[in-house]
């Protein structure tokens, strides 16, 4: 996997790099300087972090494995948060972890992975707000922007969706989503599949979300890859900036099994083997926990939502796909329409919400297709027999201009 730069050398280069104010027209055109607030954020981010080992995976990504309670989010907790009871990881989850690109490298006990941006990647950002969203402001399915800089190319690009939703007072939701690798090229920007948990959905309220799934975005400033990667996103609103892939350091990571931002090396093949992963958000004891493959990946402390509606519960569960482009939109999911069914179309299955008593209830999906000539979603054709899919939807499509 090659020699990696030590954390001391890396931080030394960060501290010695000159700073400059970057105007919109100069974005990505000052390759040897950092925006002042980006530089200070990185220095503060690593100030108390204790790096036990640094590993570059097979996809060229560098991860610092840090002592768990030295990570940036430890400032929100007096002691390490203890993950609630976890489910037994599935064999498929174990296979996906093996394909994350770390090979047989020994990961130190008691450490968690933090994706390290390169200095060259950091020079692309014009501001801290730009960095926290990794240059990719997201919009919710309602069409309202959830953060980021409106001068970026992506902000001028309407996002397109095929999603299912249910408005219900609950404590989170779960979905099993198929893993795909749509081709995103040229002026196309991103294609993803995810779950949203939303609150503040009424007119006049501030929308808050926690989100997670997989995404293909070659223009992403920290991946520059055609492969899908696992992502998380939160939009706390109420005076706190949104953040993509824990760039703000507010998400407390509790597992080293499935690194945030890590490349997903196994994806479904049309007509062949279908890979999937289960993702769940659960509000437990006032904090938002994220589960992946039955494993508690980490937690947002409830107080970070600043007294907003998501701090006490979720009002809407959403699953589906999203794309963005400038003049040209990429495939969504596997690139085929929903009516092609299992083995061809992408899917979300076993979709549930956790009711206020703590029971998991099959969600009732209200389907929305913003551009049905390009992307569709459907509760049919039938699910594969004998697999216990519960509530499910197929979705996707080839995209277009």
Tokens of 354: 């956790």
The predicted-structure confidence for 253-298, as pLDDT tens digits, reads as follows: 999 989 999 999 899 999 999 999 999 999 999 999 999 999 999 9
| Ramachandran quadrant class, 373 (left: phi over 0; alpha: psi -120 to 50; beta: rest) | alpha
Exposure of 400 by Cβ count < 10 A (0-12 exposed, 13-18 middle, 19+ buried)?
A: middle
Q: Specify the 3-state DSSP secondary structure of 316.
A: strand
Q: Which residues contact 301 (CB under 8 A, 6 or more apart)?
A: 73, 76, 77, 81, 250, 252, 287
In this predicted structure, the answer to whether residue 25 has a pLDDT above a threshold of 70 is: no
In this predicted structure, the answer to whether residue 154 has a pLDDT above a threshold of 50 is: no
Tell me the pTM: 0.92
Q: Which of these ranges, 171-185, 210-224, 328-342, 383-397, has the smallest mean pLDDT? A: 210-224
DSSP 76: G
DSSP 106: P
pLDDT of residue 157: 66
Tokens of 218: 């070659």
pLDDT of residue 149: 34
Q: How far apart (Å, rounded) are the C-alpha atoms in residues 170 and 297?
A: 21
pLDDT-based confidence at residue 380 (cuts at 50, 70, 90): confident
pLDDT-based confidence at residue 98 (cuts at 50, 70, 90): confident
DSSP secondary structure of 112-155: EEEEPPPHHHHTT-SSHHHHHTTT---B-TTS-B-SS-TTSGGG
Tokens of 104: 């047989």
Q: How far apart (Å, rounded) are the C-alpha atoms in residues 69 and 52?
A: 12
pLDDT of residue 348: 98
DSSP 186: T
**Mean model confidence pLDDT for the chain:** 88
Q: Which of 10, 69, 62 is nearest to 261 (CA)?
A: 62
In this predicted structure, the answer to whether residue 146 has a pLDDT above a threshold of 50 is: no
Tokens of 343: 């083995």
The predicted-structure confidence for 351-375, as pLDDT tens digits, reads as follows: 999 999 999 999 999 999 999 999 9
Residue of higher predicted confidence among 84 and 235: 235
Peptide bond into 178 cis (omega under 30): no
Q: Which of these ranges, 131-145, 252-266, 303-317, has the smallest mean pLDDT? A: 131-145
Q: What share of the chain is helix, strand, coil (3-state, %, to 5)?
A: 15, 35, 50
Q: How far apart (Å, rounded) are the C-alpha atoms in residues 398 and 331?
A: 4
pLDDT-based confidence at residue 100 (cuts at 50, 70, 90): confident
Which residues are bridge partners to 176 per DSSP? 278, 349
pLDDT of residue 102: 80
Q: Which of these ranges, 93-97, 126-130, 220-224, has the smallest mean pLDDT? A: 220-224
Dihedral sign for Cα atoms in the order 384, 389, 393, 398: negative
Q: Which of these ranges, 76-85, 112-121, 129-138, 196-205, has the smallest mean pLDDT? A: 129-138
């Amino acid at each position: 996997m090659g020699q990696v730069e030590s954390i001391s050398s890396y931080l030394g280069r960060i501290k010695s790099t000159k700073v400059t104010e970057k105007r919109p027209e100069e974005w990505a055109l000052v390759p040897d300087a950092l925006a002042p607030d980006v530089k200070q954020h990185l220095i503060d981010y690593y100030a108390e972090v204790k790096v036990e080992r640094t590993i570059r995976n097979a996809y060229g990504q560098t991860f610092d494995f840090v002592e768990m309670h030295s990570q940036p989010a430890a400032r929100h907790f007096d002691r390490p948060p203890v993950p609630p009871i976890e489910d037994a990881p599935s064999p498929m989850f174990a296979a996906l972890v093996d394909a994350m690109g770390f090979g047989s490298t020994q990961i130190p006990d008691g450490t968690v992975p933090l994706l390290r941006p390169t200095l060259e990647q950091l020079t692309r950002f014009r501001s801290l707000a730009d960095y926290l969203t990794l240059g990719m402001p997201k919009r919710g399915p309602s069409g309202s922007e959830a953060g980021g800089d409106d001068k970026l190319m992506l902000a001028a690009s309407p996002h397109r969706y095929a999603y299912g939703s249910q408005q219900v007072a609950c404590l989170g939701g779960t979905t099993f989503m198929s893993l795909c690798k749509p081709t995103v090229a040229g002026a196309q920007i991103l294609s993803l599949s995810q779950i949203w948990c939303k609150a503040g959905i009424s007119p006049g309220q501030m929308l808050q979300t926690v989100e997670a799934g997989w995404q293909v975005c070659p223009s992403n400033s920290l991946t520059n890859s055609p492969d899908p990667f696992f992502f998380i996103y939160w939009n706390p609103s109420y005076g706190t900036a949104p953040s993509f892939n824990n760039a703000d350091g507010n998400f407390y990571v509790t597992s080293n099994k499935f690194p945030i931002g890590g490349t997903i090396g196994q994806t479904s093949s049309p007509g062949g083997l279908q890979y999937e992963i289960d993702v769940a958000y659960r509000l437990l004891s006032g904090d938002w926990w994220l589960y992946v493959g039955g494993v508690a990946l980490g937690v947002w402390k409830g107080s970070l939502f600043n007294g907003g509606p998501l701090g006490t519960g979720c009002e809407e569960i959403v699953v589906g796909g999203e794309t963005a482009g400038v003049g040209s939109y990429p495939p969504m999911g596997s690139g085929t329409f929903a009516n092609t069914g299992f083995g061809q179309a992408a899917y979300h299955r076993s979709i549930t919400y956790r009711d206020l008593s703590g029971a998991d209830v099959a969600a009732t999906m209200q389907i929305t297709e913003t551009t049905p000539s390009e992307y569709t979603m459907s509760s049919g054709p039938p699910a594969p027999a004998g697999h216990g899919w519960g509530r499910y939807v197929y979705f996707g499509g080839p995209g277009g201009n």
